[in-house]
Amino acid sequence: MSRARVPLLAWLAALVAAAAIAAGARYTADLSAFLPRSPSPAQQLLVDQLREGAVGRVMLLAIEGGDAASRAAASRALAERLRADARFAYVANGAAGSTERERRLLVEHRYLLSPAVTPERFSAGGLREAIVDNLDTVASSAGGLAQALLARDPTGEVARLAEARMAGSAPPLSREGVWASRDGERAVLLARTAAGGADTDGQAAAMAAARAAFDAGSASGLRLRMSGAGVFAVQSRATMKQEVARVAALGMALVAVLLLAAYRSPAALAFGLLPVLSGALAGVAAVALGFGVVHGITLGFGITLIGEAVDYAVYLFVQTAAPQDAQARRAAWLAEFWPTIRLGVLTSLAGFGALLLSGFPGLAQLGLYSVCGLAAAALFTRFVLPSLLPAAFHVRDLSPFGVHLARLCAAAPRWRGVVTLLVIAAAVVLLAKRDALWASSLSVLSTLSEEEQAYDGRLRADLGAPDARYLVVAEGNDAQEALRAAERVGTALQPLVAQGVIAGFDSPATYLPSEATQGARAASLPPLRELRARLERALRGLPLRAARLEAFVADVAKVHAGARLQRADLEGTGLGVALDALLLPRAGRWLAVLPLRGPPSGGGFIDTGQAREALLGSGAEFLDLKAEADALYAAYLGEAIALSAAGVAVVLLLLMIALRSAARVGRVAAPLGAAVLVTAALLAAAGEPLTLLHLVGFLLVVAVGSNYALFFEHAAAQGPPAPRVLASLALANATTVVGFGVLASSHVPVLRALGVTVATGTLLALAFAALLAGARGDAR
């Protein structure tokens, strides 16, 4: 008795420990799952941009419903509240006066900011040319601003600056004085959160703050919608949580109903779910210990463990079901069938173990979870469960049902040709679709609906917010060095703008020129006495007297006196926010980020070859974030395929060692290979590109299906399996198909992919195992 208690106590202790670890674990749905373990510099930049950069911090807000006036009022109230909220670094809604500080800064520091300020421009001839040009502008229909500033800015520097800033980007429309969508039906706002895009809790808090501010300050009948990378992360996590909870509850309930119908015993049901519980807890605890954080995808996958872990108890209960000598039967079962199940478990562990080596943390987590979960469930079933069961415990004998199945199996040989035909057809489909078989974009793993993505695209277009796909990144030891590097990149990019390869670009040096550049511009301005003399000469014959331009001379004097634009001057303005997004410290160095705008004629796409060529030798790096992300995904996928192939090789090796016969290994492997092939072909024929999650699904098909095939192979020597074994296989498969069928009903693509693959694949695996085993039995 005490010997039997040792595993039981060990199990209880492990269960408590695992539950404690799982309860204390950190759960996330952010991009960390996609951050490679040893990223290239470009990948690191990509992930940094998404996690900490401006891309992840941008929140787009839209107010819908009501009329334009009430939307505008709500926009003003919302912006006012959010500006006072520490969770938001910046809020813009286009309201008049909200950009007054920016305008003042531009006017005040125009000679330091304008690239047009050169010694030539401030020679007598250069001044004359600039003033004549500016007077032409004053005379024109667009002369308003130039006219208002004429005495202070006779060379039209402010107008040039404003124009340079607007080049290539259209300002949002306004209705009732605030920004609105192109169709005028939404008021739109642009905000930057204090929290980074990867700080999902921080993003969730910002969203809640926005919602509360909106509810407090808007008329009824209006709705608030938010979008952006951070918002998506929050929504993904919520969707994942909700879906996982829903699918797990529904799957569990259906499996329970099925088992209850089969066992006719609530106690048996409870005992049968214990391996699942043990496995799931062990898996989560292992991932929490191994990775420090548990990803939502892993958790979603957790419910799938039901699929295989529940089978172990099914085999134990159904194959030993009889009222007499229950305990003796279980002992006999352990002796006869456990080696078969153990081999099945080992093949599963080999398959999933391969994923542990993946550089994709999401996949490595799945691997660890599965290996630990399955091992725990199997160990529990073997060493703990039998001693937990009361001596007289038994479930309903499913032999009568098994006898029906045996009759079907006997008829199977006549249909074995079907398998061959299906495999050939599958091979043809896969060959025909070989180029479009695998999804090439990371977006296939997204939980976002197409509607949400389209809405985000519309809001970005409304607000003129770039999607920041193309970036140039330059580095420096300090902020000044990075700014100087950005200025060199800007010079290298100018020809591309002129050629129309890019529509324009943004640079931190536009907002804050380096001290060196500011110094050079200041040195371009002549001393005051000289300036006055040059003005006299420049204005000869023009309707402007130098005496009228004392405000201009005074502004130049301020620059001579050493006035420089500092980072602190921009604090709290839209310019400062823009600068912070483009000039960032990283690991003791500073990065300057220059987002490029694609030409509108090319649909916003940039000829990356030309861009790279222009930047050759500048020390800066050109990045196509989408291509980079897709390449990252493709690398993961390629690696996962290779690892899966390695896993299959290990499985075959294992079978070879255990079965000691190539023919027997073939008998186990054939139905599994056929099931995977036909499932893949069905997915391809349905137009569903295969993703990482389908691949994981195939591994699960092999893991679950290997048990079926092994049972058939185990029995092959004595003819078809016993009716009880057949019944247990049918029940085990039914629970798997039901559990994964529920998963297939999810609208989250990753869960659906897994569900469809495994439900289809395991059903086929069982059918093929029966058909092929029967075929050989007949042949013998």
Partner 1 sequence: MAPRLERLLGVVLLAWAAAAPAAPSWDVERLLAGFAQTREARASFVERKTVRVLERPLVSSGELRFAAPDRLEKRTLRPRPELLVLDGDRLTLERGERRLQLDLRSYPEVAAFVQSIRGTLAGDREALERAYQLALEGDAASWALTLVPRTPAMSDLVARVRIAGRHAEISVVEIVHANGDRSLMSVQRLPGAR
Within a 13 Å sphere around the CA of 532, how many CA atoms are in the beta-carbon half?
A: 9
Strand partners, 587: none
Residue 433 to residues 191, 421, 635, 681, 690: CA-CA distances in angstroms? 44, 18, 21, 9, 11
The answer to whether residues 180 and 100 touch, using CB atoms and an 8 Å cutoff, is no
How near is the Cβ of 686 to partner 1 at its closest, in Å?
46
How near is the Cβ of 144 to partner 1 at its closest, in Å?
3
The answer to whether residues 759 and 741 touch, using CB atoms and an 8 Å cutoff, is yes
Q: Rounded to 5 degrees, what angle do the CA atoms 699, 343, 417 make?
A: 65
How near is the Cβ of 159 to partner 1 at its closest, in Å?
8
* Closer residue to partner 1 in complex, CB, 162/356: 162
* Closer residue to partner 1 in complex, CB, 145/293: 145
* Closer residue to partner 1 in complex, CB, 69/657: 69
* Closer residue to partner 1 in complex, CB, 61/150: 150
The answer to whether residues 749 and 445 touch, using CB atoms and an 8 Å cutoff, is yes
- How far apart are alpha carbons 231 and 57 in whole angstroms? 9
- How far apart are alpha carbons 302 and 285 in whole angstroms? 12
How near is the Cβ of 141 to partner 1 at its closest, in Å?
5
Which residues of this protein are in contact with partner 1, per CB under 8 A?
96, 135-136, 138-148, 150-151, 162-163, 170-171, 173-177, 184, 543-545, 548
**CA proximity to 688, closest of 764, 732, 771, 750:** 750
SS3 232: helix
* Closer residue to partner 1 in complex, CB, 142/649: 142
Residue 26: in which H helix or E strand, if any? strand 26-28
**CA proximity to 497, closest of 347, 632, 597:** 597
Question: Hey, which bits of 184-292 come out as E strands?
Answer: 187-193, 223-227
Q: Rounded to 5 degrees, what angle do the CA atoms 408, 410, 411 make?
A: 65
How near is the Cβ of 605 to partner 1 at its closest, in Å?
23
How near is the Cβ of 544 to partner 1 at its closest, in Å?
6
How near is the Cβ of 753 to partner 1 at its closest, in Å?
44
How near is the Cβ of 536 to partner 1 at its closest, in Å?
14
- How far apart are alpha carbons 516 and 417 in whole angstroms? 80
User: Between helices 305-319 and 723-744, what is the axis angle to 10°?
Assistant: 160
* Closer residue to partner 1 in complex, CB, 183/435: 183
Instruction: Name the token pair of 367.
Output: 């691997």
How near is the Cβ of 548 to partner 1 at its closest, in Å?
5
* Closer residue to partner 1 in complex, CB, 143/604: 143
* Closer residue to partner 1 in complex, CB, 94/466: 94
* Closer residue to partner 1 in complex, CB, 151/257: 151
How near is the Cβ of 172 to partner 1 at its closest, in Å?
8
* Closer residue to partner 1 in complex, CB, 79/764: 79
* Closer residue to partner 1 in complex, CB, 492/549: 549
SS3 306: helix
Strand partners, 586: 589
How near is the Cβ of 148 to partner 1 at its closest, in Å?
5
- How far apart are alpha carbons 493 and 498 in whole angstroms? 9
DSSP state letter for 172? P
- How far apart are alpha carbons 689 and 441 in whole angstroms? 10
The answer to whether residues 28 and 200 touch, using CB atoms and an 8 Å cutoff, is yes
* Closer residue to partner 1 in complex, CB, 166/270: 166
**CA proximity to 282, closest of 28, 13, 22:** 22
* Closer residue to partner 1 in complex, CB, 1/96: 96
How near is the Cβ of 539 to partner 1 at its closest, in Å?
10
Residue 135 has a CB neighbour count (10 Å cut-off) of 19
How near is the Cβ of 143 to partner 1 at its closest, in Å?
7
* Closer residue to partner 1 in complex, CB, 547/645: 547
- How far apart are alpha carbons 18 and 20 in whole angstroms? 5
How near is the Cβ of 526 to partner 1 at its closest, in Å?
22
Residue 331: in which H helix or E strand, if any? helix 326-336
Q: In b/e form, how buried is each residue of 223-256, taking b as 16+ CB within 10 angstroms? A: ebebbbbbbbbbbbbebbeebbeebbebbbebbb
